[in-house]
Amino acid sequence: MKRLVFLGSTGSIGTSTCKVADDIPEAVQLIGLAAGRNVTLLSEQISKYHPIAISITDPNAAKKLANDHPGAPEVYCGEEGLIKLATLPEADVVLIAIVGTAGLQPALAAIRAGKDIAVASKEILVMAGEIIMKEARKHGVRVLAVDSEHSAVFQCLDNRPSESIRQIWLTASGGPFREKPAEEFSNITVKQALKHPSWEMGRKITIDSATLFNKGL
């Protein structure tokens, strides 16, 4: 049984991972959950998974959750809350699925507390990959790739010497505008950009996919 702290449990990767946990309850226990603003879904997850601690960005939302679930989990908020969850003594793995830079300090805190980290947020590896990997080696923990693209690369490279790799190609759906002529791009609407042909995701990652900015990361 792996005890998992989940930073970003209400996003698209978060809800997908929760479904996986539902399928293998004998292998995974969700003991910590963190969300940005989705109080309603986080509250439902608290009732379903009974974590020992949760965190949410907004202090007022944290108070509401504490009132709605008296005597249940410890309730934290902000960056401090993420770090508290990431360093829970009971945790075996910390899964980081937070958009942007917010996952960096919790990731480092988890590593320094001796936790394996599973990374679904490319941003923290782009801006601080060298630091993260150095700390992981220092503390003897694993950095596991979760998101589709870098998980695929991770599996392809597993146990292969770096000198045997000439190039790495990232695949892409192309988003909703792959076949759209460039001269029509100035007329694209937000609604069109949010209609991904393959995946249902959060608004930011859907826009990043439509512009291919996520490939730049």
CATH number, position 10: 3.40.50.720
Which pair of tokens denotes residue 70? 């008296």
Looking at the fold, whether 93 and 186 belong to one and the same domain comes out as: no
Average pLDDT of the chain, as a whole number = 89
User: Is the same domain home to 191 and 143?
Assistant: no
Domain housing 95: 2-153
Q: Is residue 163 part of a domain?
A: no
* 98-141 tens-digit pLDDT: 887 899 999 999 999 999 999 987 788 888 999 999 999 999 99
Residues 49 and 133 in one domain: yes
CB distance 129 to 121 below 8 Å: no
Residues in Cβ contact with 166 at an 8 Å cutoff, skipping those fewer than 6 apart: none
Q: Which residues of the chain fall short of a pLDDT of 70? A: 215-217
pTM: 0.80
Residues 195 and 132 in one domain: no
**168 occurs within a structural domain:** no
Q: Tell me, what's the pLDDT at 201?
A: 75
> Is 209 found in the same domain as 129?
no
Q: Are residues 31 and 109 in the same domain?
A: yes
Q: Give the pLDDT confidence score for residue 216 in this predicted structure.
A: 66
Q: 179 and 134, same structural domain?
A: no
Domains contained in the chain, number:
2
Give the pLDDT score at 93.
96
